A = this chain, B = another copy of it.
Amino acid sequence: MEVLNRIKNPKDIQKLSFKELEQLAEEIREFLIDNVSKTGGHLASNLGIVELTLSLLKNFDFEHDKIVFDVGHQSYVYKILTGRKDDFSTLRTYKGISGFPKREESCYDFFDTGHSSNSISACLGMARARDLQKEDYHIVSVIGDGAFTGGMVYEALNDVGFNNTKMLIILNDNQMSISSNVGGLSKCLNKVRLAPSYNKLKEKAHSSKKSYFVKTARKVKNSIKTLFFNPMFFENLGVRYVGPIDGNNLEDLNRVMKKIKNIKEPVVLHVLTTKGLGYLPALENPDSFHAVSKFDIVTGKAIQSNSDNYSNAFGESLLHLAEKDEKIVAITAAMIGGTGLSKFYKKYPERTFDVGITEPHAVTLAGGMACGGLHPIFVVYSTFLQRGFDQVLIDICMQNLPVVFAIDRAGLVGNDGKTHQGVFDLSYLNLMPNMDILAPKCTEEMEKLLSYAIHQDHPVAIRYPRGGDVLKLAPIKKVVRGRWEKVVDGNGVAILAVGKMNHYASLAMKKLNKKQKPLLINACFIKPLDEEILKEIVQKGYSVLTLEDNNILGGFGQQVLYELNKLGFHKKIKIMGYEDKFIDHGNVDELLVQEKMDVDSIVQEIQKLYT
């Protein structure tokens, strides 16, 4: 790490020779692989973007200039080189540095990203602020080809083209979004990739000192000149297009960047990078190395892998149900792997629709399919469904269409942090008329709930967390609309637990003294609520504890309170959920303690209700 250790300030990079930069690139890759193998995180995309980041730091001065990494998972190299190398071992850990850009973490970060396709909008806002205030600095958006499927990019490009403001948009084309890329635009980008000069880039890996490292692209003999690839697409929108160039070739990058940085109008620079470059397992399986948990460097295998999780339970359940009902189709927004859809996709490719990172479109597409007589299931992470809020409300719920939303990563997701916590879905879905909202209390319940969902003539959402079960719980016997399950009988206090909170509630109940025997209810329906059980609670004079892996405002507990109040409830009620704030990264257990949602906190609240 001879060169890397000399970088104290990003400006030091400007002084390095190309030879030193190449050495630095290799050191950064080793540093990345070594660190991410211990912390988990996004690896493949960061390995691909080393030279581009170096080139940006060589040509721009981010004490004055600004940069926004779209999504931001590819900002590791930038973080390492802008003062966060020594903290890098704390990546994505509790109180450690974030896996995404964070303004509060560094003065070199200018916009907190995490969701896709918004960087051009943010940069255009900054550019207009700069222009109106007659300031002068550079603004750069770095955006992957995957993020380019999102409609915001087009909305922003269209606006960018409207007036000539200086900004640089770097299309970091590594030929895949999170899973493989989809759509007409991607076909079109593929044409370039088939060009002979591009193919040479693909032949560049050769073995290095350690068998699992591969040396990075050194030379493409006749380096790719500035080509004009499909300039019409961008130039129709009034944006100048330059490229594609080899984004892993420092000299090429440098030559082009020097030329274009002072163009006084918006420019798209198309660079081709290789995901996973420098690490054989990632190079060969960039998809599985997009986001990894801790792994063994030599083999590339994950150190822990738990297939007994909700995503897989969903995937298996879907497969079973789809065998019996050929109208079932699945839609995903570039998340086949993450959402457990791989097996379904393998068996039913014609019934799987990967639409790219386009949640708004995905939702309405599902609506159209439902109108056409299919049973569409949109499988999506909780935090990303936020992107389709209006479409769920207006295109699905208003029309009361039988679309199923399988909402993965609901509740705390842990290390991805603020932008990825799925703690709002119960609140934003609760306010939507016509929709049922369900949550399984264990993986074994998934198929029963999904089967219920598929057979309704109205929208249904099923939300479930990242990971798997904490305890082994017996699944519900029968799913009946608006009917909860009594898990443990008891008296004095009724615990109404949503989804995985049943596990924590069960653990908490074991810690109570023998006189305290609360009733535990699996509130498998967040909507509609079980009016019968609520009436019983009022009649029998229970105090109530509600437990949900969601923000309190607008969530399950508040709906219970509202209904209980209408029923004349006068006992104590405690609503447990997350307070009104954003929750940073860390592992889920640490965060539960921080948010006073862990087992001991639940014990305390139960005890208070008994006093």
Interface residues of A in 377-394 (CB under 8 A from B): 386-387, 389-391, 393-394
For residue A21, CB closer than 8 A to chain B, the reply is: no
Q: Which residues of B contact A149 (CB under 8 A)?
A: 155, 158
For residue A561, CB closer than 8 A to chain B, the reply is: yes
- Whether A368 pairs with B133 at a CB distance below 8 angstroms is no
Instruction: For the complex, give the distance between the alpha carbons of A364 and B124 in Å.
Output: 9
- Whether B152 pairs with A364 at a CB distance below 8 angstroms is yes
For residue A374, CB closer than 8 A to chain B, the reply is: yes
- Whether A161 pairs with B132 at a CB distance below 8 angstroms is no
Q: How far is the CB of A25 from chain B (nearest CB, A)?
A: 30
Contact with B along A31-71 (1 / 0, CB 8 A): 00000000000000000000000000000000000000000
- Whether A121 pairs with B365 at a CB distance below 8 angstroms is yes
Most buried by B among A123, A155, A188, A351: A155
Instruction: For the complex, give the distance between the alpha carbons of A327 and B129 in Å.
Output: 9
- Whether A152 pairs with B152 at a CB distance below 8 angstroms is no
For residue A580, CB closer than 8 A to chain B, the reply is: yes
Pick out which of these stretches binds chain B: A220-228, A313-321, A424-432.
Answer: A424-432
For residue A502, CB closer than 8 A to chain B, the reply is: no
Most buried by B among A185, A232, A368: A368
Instruction: For the complex, give the distance between the alpha carbons of A233 and B123 in Å.
Output: 24
Look across to chain B and name the residue whose beta carbon is closest to the beta carbon of A326. B132
Give the residue of B158, B365, B433 whose beta carbon is less than 8 angstroms from that of A356. B158
For residue A311, CB closer than 8 A to chain B, the reply is: no
Give the residue of B157, B237, B391, B581 whose beta carbon is less than 8 angstroms from that of A433. B581
- Whether A237 pairs with B184 at a CB distance below 8 angstroms is yes
Say whether, besides A389-B386, A390-B389, A418-B398, A368 and B431 are in contact (CB < 8 Å): no
For residue A150, CB closer than 8 A to chain B, the reply is: yes
For residue A508, CB closer than 8 A to chain B, the reply is: no
- Whether B121 pairs with A394 at a CB distance below 8 angstroms is no
Instruction: For the complex, give the distance between the alpha carbons of A434 and B372 in Å.
Output: 42
- Whether A398 pairs with B126 at a CB distance below 8 angstroms is no
Instruction: For the complex, give the distance between the alpha carbons of A184 and B130 in Å.
Output: 21
Contact with B along A408-437 (1 / 0, CB 8 A): 000000000011000010011011011000
Pick out which of these stretches binds chain B: A112-120, A467-475, A476-484.
Answer: A112-120
For residue A230, CB closer than 8 A to chain B, the reply is: yes
Give the residue of B122, B237, B356, B431 whose beta carbon is less than 8 angstroms from that of A395. B122
- Whether B236 pairs with A121 at a CB distance below 8 angstroms is no
Q: Which residues of B contact A552 (CB under 8 A)?
A: 562
- Whether A158 pairs with B183 at a CB distance below 8 angstroms is yes
Q: Which residues of B contact A374 (CB under 8 A)?
A: 128-129, 132-133
For residue A103, CB closer than 8 A to chain B, the reply is: yes
Interface residues of A in 91-120 (CB under 8 A from B): 103, 110-112, 114-115, 118
Q: Which residues of B contact A351 (CB under 8 A)?
A: 132
For residue A1, CB closer than 8 A to chain B, the reply is: no
Sorting the interface of chain A by its residue count into under 10, 10 to 19, 20 to 34 or 35 or more gives 35 or more
Say whether, besides A150-B155, A391-B118, A369 and B582 are in contact (CB < 8 Å): no
- Whether B118 pairs with A151 at a CB distance below 8 angstroms is no
Give the residue of B115, B184, B232, B373 whose beta carbon is less than 8 angstroms from that of A238. B184
Give the residue of B103, B157, B233 whose beta carbon is less than 8 angstroms from that of A236. B233
For residue A262, CB closer than 8 A to chain B, the reply is: no
Instruction: For the complex, give the distance between the alpha carbons of A16 and B523 in Å.
Output: 61
Q: Which residues of B contact A373 (CB under 8 A)?
A: 129, 133
Instruction: For the complex, give the distance between the alpha carbons of A391 and B573 in Å.
Output: 34
Most buried by B among A122, A393, A433: A122
Q: Which residues of B contact A541 (CB under 8 A)?
A: none
Q: How far is the CB of A203 from chain B (nearest CB, A)?
A: 28
For residue A277, CB closer than 8 A to chain B, the reply is: no
Q: How far is the CB of A280 from chain B (nearest CB, A)?
A: 31
Interface residues of A in 535-590 (CB under 8 A from B): 551-554, 558-559, 561-562, 565, 570, 573, 575, 580-582
Q: How far is the CB of A115 from chain B (nearest CB, A)?
A: 5
- Whether A364 pairs with B151 at a CB distance below 8 angstroms is no
Q: Which residues of B contact A230 (CB under 8 A)?
A: 232, 236
Q: Which residues of B contact A144 (CB under 8 A)?
A: none
For residue A156, CB closer than 8 A to chain B, the reply is: yes
For residue A153, CB closer than 8 A to chain B, the reply is: yes
Given contacts A151-B152, A184-B238, 17 further A-B contacts (CB under 8 A): A111-B399, A122-B368, A125-B371, A125-B376, A126-B369, A129-B369, A132-B351, A155-B361, A156-B364, A158-B185, A158-B356, A159-B353, A233-B236, A428-B431, A433-B580, A433-B581, A561-B561
A-B contact pairs, 26 of them (CB 8 A): A124-B365, A125-B366, A125-B370, A126-B369, A126-B371, A128-B368, A128-B374, A129-B372, A130-B372, A132-B350, A133-B327, A151-B155, A158-B358, A159-B356, A160-B184, A162-B187, A183-B237, A184-B236, A188-B237, A387-B389, A389-B390, A433-B581, A434-B582, A553-B554, A558-B561, A565-B565
Closest 9 CB pairs of A and B: A125-B368, A151-B151, A129-B372, A161-B184, A184-B238, A554-B554, A389-B389, A155-B361, A158-B183
